[in-house]
Structures are given as structure tokens and as C-alpha cells.
Structure 1
Amino acid sequence: MSDAAQPTAAEVRAAAEAVKTALDRHLAAVERRSGEDDPAVSEAFNQLAAAAEAYDELLYDRYDEVTPFEIPSADEALPPYAGPEPNAISVLIRRDYTVAEPQRLLAQAQRVEAAEYDAVDEDDAAGTVPGALGVLFGEFEPDEIASRHKEFGLEEGDSTLWVTAAEEPPEAGEWLEAPFEHIDPQQVVCRFDVSAVFDDEVSDDEDDIDFVDEDEEEEEEDGDGELEPINAEK
């Protein structure tokens, strides 16, 4: 952004004041709310979110600084499933891995080929990382690879599982050319995510706790990720 296009200090200050005003309005709406779905609270929330986002943008443009606010985006959130009982479902799974130890990956693929063909050709598919991945994912179920990923030289990243509803099962081969396109968010019955960010959130919460008894043992959270349900049919 050029200097001419930068917001002025007065504009940033005005945006900060707007956040303060929106905070007061939101608190007042919460204190007066008539129920869980009070529209006044929702309106005040949206106004606060908009004010915070505007301030954050101006603050960054003017001073190259950011706020600690994180406003959830309505565009990114999946709506709750509100359709009829499904006659068929599709399960979509994505799992990310890093090839942390290529040599271990190659060795495992070569063992599989040796067991299958009684010999390993140096020019065969198992001699390259793409080829080794093809051998291993062709031999083992994805769930087995997920549970044994370290044996295959892989490091887990994020993963997600979506269950989507359908009126009727598709015809054989109907979607094979583009299996992950045209997913309707309204048809997602439930979704489960696994990510290291959930562990970070747990660690942050633990850091905020003051332990009175210093000799008391502190339990450790498992660092392999947590299963987070996002949307589920009620």
C-alpha cells in the first residue's frame, strides 16, 4: 500500500473508539437478552465483529500491527444439517502427511514389492517417493497407514472427515472423474476434524491456570490431536 493510501492516525483512533462503543452495546444487549436466540444480541455481535475487523485492518495498514481478535467467518462455517433423513451417505476423508523420512518410506515399499514379487528391481516404482507412495497406499488401507504412519516415514498433519447425505446412491462410476467436486454444505450431516491447533488451544488454557499446590502433579495432554465435532444432526 502506498503512503498516500494509508489511513491517518485519526482514522485509526476513530476505529478504536468504534470498537469500544460496539463492546459496550454488545455487553448491554447480552445483559438484557430475552433468550438464547435474542436477535438484539446477534445484531450487536455482528456490529462488534465488523468494528473489530475494520480496526484491525486500519491498524495494520497504518502501523503494521495486528490485534489478538479472531472473528469467525460465517462464510467458512458449515450450517447445521436440516435436511430429511438420508437414504444414502457419502464419506469424504482428507488426511495430510509430510514425507519426513523418505528412506524409511522407500524401504517399506521395497519390502512390500519383495514380498509380492520375490525380488526388487532398482528401476521399479518402489525406488522413487511417488512410486513408493503408490505401492504402500495400494497395499494398505488408509486407516492402517494412519495408525502406522511413523513406520512409513510419514508425519501426520491435519485431517477431516465429512459425512454427507444423499437421496439415492449414485450410479456406479458416476462421480469418479471428479470425486471431490460439488459438495453441498447443506448436505453435510456431521464433520470431524483433527488438528494440532486443538492441542495448542489446550496448552494455552493450561498456561492460564494458577496451581496453588506446587507439588501437585500436572497431567499432560496427549499430543496426537483431538477429535473435534463441528456439525452434528440433533
Structure 2
Amino acid sequence: MSDVARPTEAQIAQVRIAAEAVKAAIDAHLAAVEGRAGVGDPRVAGAYETLADAAEVYDDLLDRVHDEFTPFEVPRPGSAGLLDRIEPEAVSVLIRRDYTVTDPRLLRETVGGTTVAASLRALFGDYEPDRVARHAADFGLEEGDSTLWVVASEPVAEPGEWLAEPFDVADEDLLICRFDVIEDYDDELEPADPS
């Protein structure tokens, strides 16, 4: 901090006001989460954005006035950043789906493998991942969480060029959008009102 000029009283006050705004935003976010009306409650999303905004202001002031940073980064896919400065020429769609093997016998009998590992190799070798997802229970599997990321990427110059590191482009700064399926939350969803 020796290279940084001593902050003025006004600058110190600005940082303190920003810190108080973060504290208030944390309390408001927690209250919204505790009182949410269900998955996707807009009050929770609004409180999240308010908290993210307050944290950004505090972090910026802390840097400018005290040459310090917070250890926190609030993820906001597709928000201001690298994607605002580039026009993606290509995208990569990255998918992760988790499964629990709930019935090894059914898996081996259905797919024809001698072991669970051999059956899984055969299952994912013979069936498209979407078909496995739709019929997981028929294969003795239970779906867990899943996520799908659409990420800006460079056009592929040569076929198979990225296969050595297939998820190397999973950079949050290049994230265009993200879709998460969390099984515990999905179980709580109620049917939509048709009216």
C-alpha cells in the first residue's frame, strides 16, 4: 500500500457505505430465500442481482481506495465481460449428466455386460446420451443433476482437433447461457396451472 496515496475521509466513507449496502443485500437475499414461494421465485432472483450489484460496487471501491479485493466473485453468465467485446464465430455445447447405478443386475441383463463397468461401456457405446437419459430407469440407473453450457469458441480448424481436451473451452467468461437440472428441486415442482 506504500505506492497508493492515503485515502481521503470521503473515500473511506464511500467504501463504508458500500460495505453496509452489501450487508443489507445479504440480509435481503437470505430473507428472500427463506420466504421463497417455490423454485424460480422472482424475489430471490431480484435479491441475487441486488446483492451482485452491491458486491461489485464494494469490490470496485475497495480496489480504488484501498488497493484490496474481496475473495468473492458472483457468477452472472452472459453478463458484462469478455462476451461484450467479441462476436462469437462458433459455440460449443458442453453437457454433463450424473447417474447412480441403482440396479446393477438390471443394467447387466438389459445391456448384456458381465460387469457394471462393461455394461456402462456398452450402454453408452450403443445408445445416444439423450436416449439413456429418457430411459435411465429401464437400465437400472437413477438420474442425478445435469448441466448444459453453451460456450463461445473458436471455429475448429481440423477434425478431431479438440478431442484430447474436450472440455478445455469451459471458460465462464465465454459462457453464453447455462441450463441446470437439479433433481431435488425438480421433485418439488408443481404442475403449471393450465389457466
Give the TM-score, by structure 1 length.
Answer: 0.49
CA contact (8 A) 2:149 2:177 kept: yes
Q: CA deviation at 1:42?
A: 7.3
Q: Aligned match of 2:106 in 97, 104, 112?
A: 104
Q: Is the 8 A contact 2:153 2:169 kept in 1?
A: no
Displacement of 1:164 in angstroms is 0.6
Q: Report how far residue 138 of structure 1 moved.
A: 0.2
Conserved in 2, the CA contact under 8 Å of 1:89 and 1:169?
no
Length-normalised TM-score, structure 2? 0.57
Task: Letter of the 2:73 partner, please give it.
Answer: D
Distance in 1 between the 2:21 and 2:187 partners?
Answer: 26
- State the Cα RMSD in Å: 3.4
- Bigger CA radius of gyration: 1
- CA offsets, 1:189-232, max 9 Å, x none? 11111112433665xxxxxxxxxxxxxxxxx439xxxxxxxxxx
The whole-number CA distance in structure 2 between the counterparts of 1:49 and 1:43 is: 10
Aligned residues: 136
Gaps of 5+ in 1: 1-40, 53-67, 111-125, 203-219, 223-234
Residue number in structure 2 paired with 1:47: 23
* Residue identity (%): 44
Gaps of 5+ in 2: 1-16, 29-33, 36-43, 53-71
Q: Which amino acid aligns with 1:47?
A: K
Residue in 1 that maps onto 2:60: none
Residue of structure 1 equivalent to 2:182: 195
Residue 138 of structure 1 aligns to a residue in which SS? Answer: helix
| 8 Å contact kept, 1:78–1:185 | no
Shift, 1:45, TM fit: 4.2
Question: Residues 201, 76 of structure 1: CA spacing in aligned structure 2 closer, same or farther, 3 A cutoff?
Answer: farther
